[in-house]
Structure 1
Amino acid sequence: MSLQVPGLAAEITTFVHGEQDRFVSKRLREAGIWEPYESALLLRMLGPGQVFVDVGANIGYFSLLAAHCVGSAGAVYAFEPDPANHELLVRSVGVNDYAHIVHAEQAGLSEQTGAASLYLSEDNLGDHQIFATHQEREAVPIRLLNGSRFLGPRIQRLDVVKIDTQGSEYGVVKGLMPLFTRLPQPPRVIIELTPLSLRQCGSSGRALIELLSELEQDMWIIDHVEHRLVSSTAAELAQWCDDVDAVPGDAGFMNILIGPAPR
């Protein structure tokens, strides 16, 4: 199917899951677009020759948009540990002739390199997690990579990073921080902030925000309703995480941008 994203200069074809997935693939089948405002932000933030890293790439939607933006002079590194999602990602990369741009790794990122288990959601195939909860989920073995050690020898620049890993974001960022701090300019980071999932994975929303604050960059709430960026601070976001944590079972979340707002 073809993506229906405003601003695309060429057609992008993507493979999606069938009826089993009731979220990303379902939305793409119905509308040809996922998270319209975040898609528009990405198109504004990326240009020819730049480098994009997609952590928790799922079926590759944002990786395909990024490849369209950065072109043959740029690069996209897509990390997706789930075998079924990764297969669709690779098929989409191939059909769009993006194999020279998109480097798709069947792995997740973490602070440590090693083996892990991925606990699979039955109906939201973008909601797989690397930690077990009270829910009964099938588990598959996966590999995890330290982002700095993997990417460091491969890239000279890094412009935008998207991280959506269903609760393991702290470990992802912890592993990437040595690379971020070595770069002449830290990248923009789009990241999901879900205090409940972060806590279930052994961290917290506050810990993630305090880690990201070490980049000393602006922080923005991505408002998907009003289609705008709302300026915030590390203190405000950490307090919001504490407030969510104070309500048992509250699965509230938001996506945030770290770095300068795109023009």
Structure 2
Amino acid sequence: MELPESANTIFQKLWDDTKQGVHCEKTSALDIFHAYRLLLNRLPEDSSIENLRQRAAEFPTLQALLFGFTASREFRSRYYGHSNRPDGHMVIVRDGDLRFSVNLHDLVIGWSIINGVYELTTRRIVESLVQPGWRCLDIGANLGYFSAILGRACGSTGRVFSFEPHPALFGMLETTIGESGLGATVTASQCACSDASGTITLLHAADTNNWGGSFVFAGPVDETGGLQTTQVPMTALDDSPVSTESIDFVKMDIEGGEYHTLQGMTKLVARCKPIMVLEVFEAGLNRRGIGQRELFGLLGEWEYDLLAISENPESERIGVSALETDLGPYEGNVLCVPKGRQEQVLSRLG
């Protein structure tokens, strides 16, 4: 059936928009139109070119568009029938001799693990560097993905100390450790890490597709934007039992809490000089009143070289390069190597 002239005109404009972004991840107005049809099974409330272009600006990349639409209440109620409770739809994902406890409603970390694409470069770095007998920290362990990988790498003569404050994620962490047969190697603690010991507010969404997005918050509760709050134990690692351990490797991903946690482990870092992999998330750092400049400055004072980690699953090489801090905010994982050890580390990475 031939489309009316007006419809042909609309789709020609949509196609013109799409052609401009066909070689990149830029979202077009046509992408927005099809997202409504394919994901929500309906037409947009307003199909005008102006509105679709405005919606495209809200989701500037195709990945943002996919996550935005699949995270919507309308999509979840249509395909799941209820909200994304952390204790619903749990599965065990096999990965060689490891077993990960995954929530099927977690469209970010959970499905990345299921599809075998979660932080593959960082994983290869861990598996290349961590040696049998090493002592490791996994701070912000989530469901235990890296705790299990670290546990396997350091072996029965090594130890992994994992920290996760979110109650539901901590349960998944314990399941991952048990299912992977790593109970004698990995010790899990249900607490947050920061620059002091006591309690702190954990903020998390009750209805979310990203269970790794919870974060601790030191400000007034009325600034939390409607998120759920839970009081959780907090420890400074210099005051904890791990302060007496000889720590060789640290993996840290705590949604902007990295700077404060490093401040709470100053003595441990000075004594052990561990290799570290840290997530850098500018918006998370800003929530705590700091930015990347302070984080990178602290690591520089501690005489660490910083290498940006490139998460390219199709590359045969482990992608690391000198971190260019003058090119604007950096988002992603950073490999932190004590000065004098970079050549040794890079040789192990191949």
TM bucket normalised to smaller: 0.7 to 0.9
What is the distance in 2 between the residues matched to 1:107 and 1:134? Answer: 20
Aligned residue for 2:169? 85
The equivalent of 1:139 in structure 2 is: 229
What does residue 102 of structure 2 align with? 16
Contact 2:203/2:224, CA 8 A, preserved across alignment = no
Match of 1:231 in 2: 322
For the residue of structure 2 that corresponds to 1:171, the secondary structure is: helix
Q: Could you say which structure has the greater relative contact order, defined with CA pairs below 8 angstroms and 6 or more residues apart?
A: 1
Unaligned 5+ runs, structure 2 = 1-91
2:274 maps to which of 187, 195, 217: 187
Q: Which residue of 1 aligns with 2:254?
A: 165
TM-superposed deviation, 1:3: 4.2
Give the TM-score taking structure 1 as reference length. 0.85
> Which amino acid in 2 is paired with 1:197?
G
Match for 1:125: what amino acid?
W
**CA offset at residue 153 of structure 1?**
4.6
Give structure 1 stretches of 5+ with no counterpart. 5-9, 245-251
User: Aligned partner of 2:121: which letter?
Assistant: Y
TM-score, normalization by structure 2 = 0.65
Residues 94, 59 of structure 1: CA spacing in aligned structure 2 closer, same or farther, 3 A cutoff?
Answer: same
- 1:95-146 Cα shifts (integer Å, max 9, x gaps): 2221111010001110000111111032210010112656321111111100
C-alpha distance in 1 between matches for 2:282 and 2:239 = 27
Which residue identity lines up with residue 181 of structure 2 in the other structure? D
Q: Residue in 1 aligned with 2:72? A: none
CA deviation after TM superposition for structure 1 residue 18, in Å: 2.8
Given the alignment, which residue of 173, 176, 182 partners 1:98?
182
Contact persistence 1:3–1:14 (CA under 8 A): yes
Counterpart residue type for residue 231 of structure 1: A
Deviation at 1:53, TM superposition (A): 0.3
Q: Equivalent residue for 1:248?
A: none
Inter-partner Cα distance in structure 1 for 2:110 and 2:117: 10
How far residue 49 of structure 1 moved from its aligned partner, in angstroms, is 0.3
Q: Identity over the aligned pairs, expressed in percent?
A: 25
Tell me the residue number matched to 1:7: none
Change (3 A) 1:193 1:76: same
**Equivalent residue pairs, number:** 240
Q: How does 1:1-263 map to 2 (within 5 A)?
A: 1-4=92-95, 11-19=97-105, 21-29=106-114, 31-121=115-205, 122-131=208-217, 135-155=225-245, 157-183=246-272, 186-225=273-312, 227-232=318-323, 236-237=324-325, 239-240=326-327, 243-244=328-329, 253-259=331-337, 260=342, 261-262=345-346, 263=348
Superimposed CA distance per residue, residues 179-224 of structure 1 (whole angstroms, 9 cap, x where no aligned partner): 11122xx111100112221011122211111111122122100011
Q: CA RMSD in A?
A: 1.8
